[in-house]
A and B are shown apart, each in its own frame.
Chain A
């Protein structure tokens, strides 16, 4: 499957991660995190794992991490991709 539009999930609160996915011809994963030195590799592995499980092989993924646990990271990325694939209108959702 292909990411056709930009979508986000998560927050910038401590212990959370703000995930942004965008269309791209290649697969790109960018990680910003205060614990990048300790968990950067683990975070990238988890992100690739989630993407593969959802059949995503193209797209730009940006993780603005604030020390999220692995389960949080996986859930936020899952939701962000879900939103990017669905006919999901963030503006409408935000005004509800």
Chain B
């Protein structure tokens, strides 16, 4: 009998896989954030690198979440000296703002990250891919198993472009896995561990519509504005986030589609149970899912072929031959600050401390025909609208409309939209008028300027620098 070729990809520990990967000091390791606040893999890998004596590593993760505070210890020890990400939770962000890293963090967008891998401006030496199901050759997905998290979209680009790819799973299935999101031909090693994450923190049970009357009012205005724009026709496509106000807006848009008898083409982005309900009702033909936000979405992507898993590249890469965001009619986005030129900050809080990032914010704003910012005009005495946001995350010329509970402001470069909103009887103001309304309530906040050293660079989706973030002086 002819001897069978055996790849021997399965390795007993992360340490073995790291050794086999030929990782060296100064190299870049990558991660994806679909396990959200429940992820164990990034911390386990960084700890293993520390135990093996590595230093000067760069962590390139699609997002740094609240559970990743052990990174701070690895930074203090010199194991990790660089971070590249599309989003950074305040738990790590505040330490970065206070200067824990000598080298500035590099912020990209969800589309800019795969684009940088595709055009070679960013390189990953070893990619670690958490999978809730994998076989011995590395065929894997995030849909099956007790740690299921749904779409594995952000990791697909890492698998394609990294020198060495390690799949980490807590659920080794018989070969061949049938529902394959990342195929074996891209995978070098498979490590089986006890658990890739805390299932209770990977997914929130159900993302819920807000009950806050201000949030509901903003959502109602948003849905009415999108209807007035004339976009809610057959083939309508849209994206919204998982926040309570965004969900309410999605529900109101669903009502308007139902009333008009409209069938939409797709909803994209982070997918929630609410969008799954709209799909199942037939209001949309399909979902394009780069990340699941709740359990309903995970169940749906596993069972429903019209709930389609997409890679970050297909979602939003400006280097891709085409991307889903460019087919979007409307997107509803949030903001911590909006400038009078409609530019948006989603990276830093009012003190300039890092607490977020673009994610797909600027990708969808650039792609959608109508990009709406929906946010309260005042939050805890802080007015939303400022002369210039602390950090420029999304350029103002990609934003079409700002909706608040006190009314909406249309970007002056969209006079057509302005007229439609006025004709629909919606409360339309100039952005300066809305700013004055807010300051009448709050008073004028003292202007803060952080002039310390640069702790982060914010790249736009094309890889050009938009802004820098500096240390926060207290």
Q: What distance in Å separates the Cβ of A31 from its nearest Cβ neighbour in chain B?
A: 13
B448 part of interface (Cβ distance < 8 Å) = yes
A26 part of interface (Cβ distance < 8 Å) = no
Binds A, one of B64-72, B193-201, B231-239, B375-383: B375-383
| Chain A residues whose C-beta falls within 8 Å of the C-beta of B350 in the assembled complex | 35, 38
A41 part of interface (Cβ distance < 8 Å) = yes
B446 part of interface (Cβ distance < 8 Å) = yes
The answer to whether B381 and A39 have CB atoms under 8 Å apart is: yes
Which residues 336-364 of B have a CB within 8 angstroms of A? Answer: 350-351
State the CA gap A15–B441 with chains docked (Å): 12
B26 part of interface (Cβ distance < 8 Å) = no
The answer to whether A35 and B448 have CB atoms under 8 Å apart is: no
Q: What distance in Å separates the Cβ of B275 from its nearest Cβ neighbour in chain A?
A: 29
The answer to whether A37 and B448 have CB atoms under 8 Å apart is: yes
| Chain A residues whose C-beta falls within 8 Å of the C-beta of B442 in the assembled complex | 39, 69-70
Q: Contact partner of A15 among B380, B445, B446, CB < 8 A? A: B380
**Best-buried of B378, B380, B445 by chain A (most CB within 10 Å):** B380
Which residues 56-96 of A have a CB within 8 angstroms of B? Answer: 66-70
| Chain A residues whose C-beta falls within 8 Å of the C-beta of B351 in the assembled complex | 37
State the CA gap A69–B382 with chains docked (Å): 9
Q: What distance in Å separates the Cβ of A72 from its nearest Cβ neighbour in chain B?
A: 9
Q: What distance in Å separates the Cβ of B449 from its nearest Cβ neighbour in chain A?
A: 11
The answer to whether A35 and B380 have CB atoms under 8 Å apart is: yes
| Chain A residues whose C-beta falls within 8 Å of the C-beta of B176 in the assembled complex | none
| Chain B residues whose C-beta falls within 8 Å of the C-beta of A39 in the assembled complex | 381, 442-443, 445-446
Q: A35-B350, A37-B351, A38-B350 are in contact. Are A67 and B382 (CB under 8 A)?
A: yes
| Chain A residues whose C-beta falls within 8 Å of the C-beta of B382 in the assembled complex | 35, 38, 67
State the CA gap A41–B443 with chains docked (Å): 12
B contact residues vs A (CB 8 Å cutoff): 350-351, 378-382, 441-443, 445-446, 448
The answer to whether A68 and B381 have CB atoms under 8 Å apart is: yes
Prevailing SS type, chain B contact patch: loop
Q: What distance in Å separates the Cβ of B404 from its nearest Cβ neighbour in chain A?
A: 16
| Chain B residues whose C-beta falls within 8 Å of the C-beta of A42 in the assembled complex | 443
A contact residues vs B (CB 8 Å cutoff): 14-15, 34-35, 37-39, 41-42, 66-70
Prevailing SS type, chain A contact patch: loop
Which partner residue on chain A sits nearest B383 by CB separation?
Answer: A38
24 contacts between A and B (CB under 8 A): A15-B380, A34-B380, A35-B380, A35-B382, A35-B445, A37-B351, A37-B448, A38-B350, A38-B381, A38-B448, A39-B381, A39-B443, A41-B446, A42-B443, A67-B379, A67-B380, A67-B381, A68-B381, A69-B378, A69-B381, A69-B441, A69-B442, A70-B442, A70-B443
| Chain A residues whose C-beta falls within 8 Å of the C-beta of B379 in the assembled complex | 67
Which partner residue on chain A sits nearest B351 by CB separation?
Answer: A37
Which partner residue on chain A sits nearest B446 by CB separation?
Answer: A38
| Chain B residues whose C-beta falls within 8 Å of the C-beta of A70 in the assembled complex | 442-443
10 closest residue pairs by CB, A with B: A67-B380, A38-B445, A67-B381, A38-B446, A35-B381, A42-B443, A14-B380, A37-B448, A69-B441, A70-B443
State the CA gap A31–B442 with chains docked (Å): 17
State the CA gap A68–B379 with chains docked (Å): 10
State the CA gap A66–B381 with chains docked (Å): 9
Which partner residue on chain B sits nearest A65 by CB separation?
Answer: B381
State the CA gap A14–B445 with chains docked (Å): 18
Q: What distance in Å separates the Cβ of A46 from its nearest Cβ neighbour in chain B?
A: 9
State the CA gap A69–B442 with chains docked (Å): 6
Which partner residue on chain B sits nearest A67 by CB separation?
Answer: B380
| Chain A residues whose C-beta falls within 8 Å of the C-beta of B380 in the assembled complex | 14-15, 34-35, 66-67
Q: What distance in Å separates the Cβ of A53 from its nearest Cβ neighbour in chain B?
A: 19
State the CA gap A38–B382 with chains docked (Å): 8
State the CA gap A34–B353 with chains docked (Å): 12
Given A15-B381, A69-B381, 9 additional A-B pairs, CB 8 A: A35-B382, A37-B446, A38-B350, A38-B445, A39-B445, A41-B446, A66-B380, A67-B379, A67-B381
Which partner residue on chain A sits nearest B378 by CB separation?
Answer: A69
| Chain B residues whose C-beta falls within 8 Å of the C-beta of A15 in the assembled complex | 380-381
Q: What distance in Å separates the Cβ of B422 from its nearest Cβ neighbour in chain A?
A: 30
State the CA gap A77–B30 with chains docked (Å): 53
**Best-buried of B351, B380, B381 by chain A (most CB within 10 Å):** B381
| Chain A residues whose C-beta falls within 8 Å of the C-beta of B381 in the assembled complex | 15, 35, 38-39, 67-69
Q: What distance in Å separates the Cβ of A66 from its nearest Cβ neighbour in chain B?
A: 6
Q: What distance in Å separates the Cβ of A44 from its nearest Cβ neighbour in chain B?
A: 12
Which partner residue on chain B sits nearest A41 by CB separation?
Answer: B446
| Chain A residues whose C-beta falls within 8 Å of the C-beta of B443 in the assembled complex | 39, 42, 70
| Chain B residues whose C-beta falls within 8 Å of the C-beta of A66 in the assembled complex | 380
State the CA gap A14–B214 with chains docked (Å): 14
State the CA gap A51–B79 with chains docked (Å): 55
State the CA gap A68–B448 with chains docked (Å): 20
Q: What distance in Å separates the Cβ of B66 from its nearest Cβ neighbour in chain A?
A: 19
Which partner residue on chain A sits nearest B472 by CB separation?
Answer: A37
Which partner residue on chain B sits nearest A68 by CB separation?
Answer: B381
Which partner residue on chain B sits nearest A46 by CB separation?
Answer: B443
Which partner residue on chain A sits nearest B445 by CB separation?
Answer: A38
